[in-house]
Chain A
Amino acid sequence: MNNVVLVNLPFVVVALLLAVGFYTIGFKRNLIKVVIGIEILEGAVNLFLIALGYVKGAYAPIYTMAPPQAENNMVLPTPQALTLTSIVIGVAVSALMLAFAVNIYRHYGTLDVTKVRRLRG
Chain B
Amino acid sequence: MKSDMGLIVKTTARATIPLIGIFGAYVVSHGHLTPGGGFQGGATIAGAGILFLIAFGLGEMKKRYNHHLYSALEGLGGLAFLGAAMLGMGVAFFYNALWQDGPFFNGQPGTLLSAGYLPIMNLAVGLKVFTGLVSAMAAIAAYRRWKE
Show the binding face of A for B, using Cβ within 8 Å.
60, 62-64, 84, 87-88, 91, 95, 98-99, 102, 105-106
A88 to B145, CA, bound (A): 29
**Residue B82 interfacial (CB < 8 Å):** no
Q: Given the interface contacts A62-B35, A63-B110, A64-B34, does A105 sit within 8 Å of B140 by beta carbon?
A: no
A43 to B110, CA, bound (A): 33
In B62-91, the 8 Å CB interface with A consists of none
A87 to B129, CA, bound (A): 13
Number of A-B contacts (CB under 8 A): 24
Give 15 pairs: A residue, B residue, CB < 8 Å, sorted on A.
A60-B35, A62-B35, A63-B109, A63-B110, A64-B33, A64-B34, A64-B110, A88-B39, A91-B133, A99-B139, A102-B140, A102-B143, A105-B146, A106-B145, A106-B146
A64 to B35, CA, bound (A): 10
Count class of interface residues, chain B? 10 to 19
Say how far B46's CB is from chain A's closest CB, in angstroms: 10
**Residue B136 interfacial (CB < 8 Å):** yes
Say how far A44's CB is from chain B's closest CB, in angstroms: 21
Minimum-distance CB pairs A-B, first 7: A64-B33, A95-B136, A106-B146, A88-B39, A64-B110, A102-B143, A64-B34
Chain A residue numbers with a CB within 8 Å of B43 are 91
Q: Which residue of B lies closest to A106 (CB)?
A: B146
Say how far B45's CB is from chain A's closest CB, in angstroms: 15
Chain A residue numbers with a CB within 8 Å of B133 are 91
A63 to B37, CA, bound (A): 15
Chain A residue numbers with a CB within 8 Å of B140 are 95, 98-99, 102
Chain B residue numbers with a CB within 8 Å of A106 are 145-146
Chain B residue numbers with a CB within 8 Å of A62 are 34-35
